[in-house]
Amino acid sequence: MTKPAGEKPGSQTPMRSGEWFAREGKYGFIPRSWMRSQGFGPELFDGRPVIGICNTWSELTPCNGHLRDLAEFVKRGVLLAGGYPLEFPVMSLGEPLMRPTTMMFRNLVSMDVEETIRANPIDGVVLLAGCDKTTPALLMGAASCDIPSVLVSGGPMLNGRFRGRELGSGTDVFRFDEDYRTGRLSREEYAEAEAAMSRSAGSCMTMGTASTMASLSEAMGIALPMNGSIPAVDSRRSRLAEEAGGHIVSLVRSGTTISRILTRAAFENAIVVNGAIGGSTNAVVHLLALAGRLGVPLTLDDWDRLGADVPCLVDLKPSGRFLMEDFYYAGGLAALMKRIEDRLDLSARTVEGAAIGDRLKRADCYDDAVIRRRDDPVTELGGIVVLRGNLAPEGAVLKPSAASPRLMSHRGKALVFDNADDYRARIDDPDLEVDADTVLVLLNAGPVGYPGMPEVGNLTLPAKLLAQGVTDMVRISDGRMSGTAYGTVVLHVSPESAIGGPLALVRTGDEIVLDVASRSLELKVDEAELQRRHAELVLPPPYFERGYGHMFINSVQQAHQGVDFDFLVGATRIQPSKVSF
């Protein structure tokens, strides 16, 4: 583990919190007096950095259920380093419970984070995240303030175990569901597996979106070494949280804001690392949105150019065999990054004050089965590929490491579902006209259409085909896919169908050609017919007419832009406070 970077002579910057606590007269008396009502002593107002601990703890977010305890270790680290810790809550996002989808609320949480920081005497912030969307939401909010920041993830839960086999969150859910629907698993066995899969605090222990974003935060240098892989219940996770408390004090004193860590080099490193870990497709929209908040130039094409040919070396579900606990014991992300260091910018800065390359000098791999060698990859192509064509003029994405090689070049007839309800109502109909070559197409699952762009893109296969032994089919949608899912699934089709994108023009029986090698996704219907269909197209009515939902569908950008709100994009900086009393 690392030590907080020492302060350089003359590097200390004025504390923003001094506008509250260092003022003379009533403007200082009032905030100091009210803080002392909580038992804080006068020594905490002597000019030391005020560190906000942004906590997404909630019992409605099981992945983050232990963050209240983890915050205490951050506080200890802040106090030991001479800072003043103040914990504050923001809205939490839990994948298992929230509807219609947590993605709809990612931007709302980022606004919660941003405005809480702007309104209060906070000099730096430690971001406590865990479940999928909490990580990008917290980073986006802090980035919009450009305040010194350190991210601490809650960590993955322990490996699931059921009747002699290891279970991975999400990934094995899909398999159990297929077995249950086809009668290979009884109701009692199904219920028994529920408890066996989720047996400790923490997020999914597969390389799903939570583990992907925790790992990419580490790769970008905004989180400490091993942030991505230490199990949630391991005491070393608490030690990491304490260290983060020390580092944030040093970052504040040296004036090192989040924009000095999350540079273009950091994002490029993250894209490469995402390929090597077989990371979630959700990382695409999250990093695009985060880069947009910082004013860092990043496009969908960068994902293909920088990461598509990176071999997947981490043999974890859903792309491989193992789980996050095994990844940690094998050496974690630093060991993986050392194996691809020729593809990385090793000079990129980290929160501990050194370069990312310095972390790799101490890294070692302890299990070549989990973190594979370059000459023995899980798959040759681990990164995200970007597809274009008349079906996705602004792009779509596919994850080769989770797809079937035989389907990477495929021609088949479309079976179109108008929305998720239509799909659920018809997919198991024994009279459904479908075979293994059919391309399943789901409409109205994008940012506006669902709304919120849910994780419904990995459509469960028809029951009658599962019974025949079919294990994968080409599936296309403008929605997303869980990071724990697998299959030959084309996602994030942009522009989406609900705003008149070409996907809305597909009809059952149309021929679709997917060619991953040429990055092509084409609807084989002549242009005149497409124009006729477009002229007759009737868009679905707005899902919301009031409140946050109304704001969402009227302000959200498309998938190739990161699904952020248009009015939040652009580099900003925290402004001085205005005295209100």
Please give the full DSSP string across 512-547, using - where no structure is assigned: EEEETTTTEEEE-S-HHHHHHHHHH--PPPPS-SSH
Torsion sign over Cα 157, 158, 160, 165 = positive
Give the pLDDT confidence of 321-342 residue by residue, as tens digits.
999 999 999 999 999 999 999 9
Tokens standing for residue 157: 């839960």
pLDDT at 580 over 80: no
What is the pLDDT at residue 3? Answer: 44
The arithmetic mean of pLDDT across residues 515-521, rounded, is 97
- Give the CATH architecture of domain 47-158+200-361: 3-Layer(aba) Sandwich (3.40)
* Residue boundaries of the structural domains of the chain: 47-158+200-361, 385-544
SS3 162: strand
- Give the CATH architecture of domain 385-544: 3-Layer(bba) Sandwich (3.50)
Greater confidence (174 vs 570) lies with: 570
What is the pLDDT at residue 576? Answer: 58
The CA-atom distances, in angstroms, between 370 and each of 202, 280, 323, 365, 434 are 21, 18, 9, 9, 38
The arithmetic mean of pLDDT across residues 166-181, rounded, is 82
Predicted confidence band of residue 425 (pLDDT cuts 50, 70, 90): very high
Look at the block and give the residue holding tokens 């598509």. 308
pLDDT at 9 over 50: no
Give the percent of the chain with pLDDT over 70.
97
Long-range contacts of 65-68 (CB under 8 A, 24+ apart): 65/201, 66/154, 66/201, 66/202, 66/232, 66/233, 67/128, 67/130, 67/154
Residue 481 CA, chain-centre distance (Å), reads 12
Give the pLDDT confidence of 403-413 residue by residue, as tens digits.
999 999 999 99
Contacts of 296 (CB under 8 A, 6+ apart): 262, 263, 264, 267
Q: How far is it, in rounded angstroms, from Cα 322 to Cα 173?
A: 16
Look at the block and give the residue holding tokens 């080099």. 265
What is the pLDDT at residue 192? Answer: 84
Q: How far is it, in rounded angstroms, from Cα 35 to Cα 476?
A: 54
Q: How far is it, in rounded angstroms, from Cα 349 to Cα 357?
A: 9
Predicted confidence band of residue 4 (pLDDT cuts 50, 70, 90): very low
Q: How far is it, in rounded angstroms, from Cα 520 to Cα 80?
A: 56
Q: Please confirm whether the linkage preceding 377 is cis (ω < 30° from 0).
A: no
Q: Please confirm whether the linkage preceding 318 is cis (ω < 30° from 0).
A: yes
What is the pLDDT at residue 10? Answer: 39
For residue 323, which of 193, 151, 172 has the smallest C-alpha distance?
Answer: 172
Greater confidence (435 vs 572) lies with: 435
Q: Do domains 47-158+200-361 and 385-544 have the same CATH topology?
A: no
Predicted confidence band of residue 12 (pLDDT cuts 50, 70, 90): low
What is the pLDDT at residue 578? Answer: 62
Greater confidence (10 vs 194) lies with: 194
For residue 219, which of 149, 150, 276, 266 has the smallest C-alpha distance?
Answer: 266
Q: In the chain, how long is the greatest CA-to-CA distance? A: 79
Tokens standing for residue 340: 């691809």
The CA-atom distances, in angstroms, between 359 and each of 226, 341, 362, 547 are 10, 11, 6, 46
Give the pLDDT confidence of 429-481 residue by residue, as tens digits.
999 999 999 999 999 999 999 999 999 999 999 999 999 999 999 999 999 99
What is the pLDDT at residue 293? Answer: 97
What is the pLDDT at residue 577? Answer: 57
Q: How far is it, in rounded angstroms, from Cα 269 to Cα 341?
A: 10
Give the pLDDT confidence of 349-384 residue by residue, as tens digits.
999 999 999 999 999 999 999 999 999 999 998 899
Angle at CA of residue 521, ends 518 and 523, nearest 5°: 135
Average pLDDT, the chain: 94
User: Looking at the DSSP assignment, which residues form a beta bridge with residue 490?
Assistant: 476
SS3 424: helix
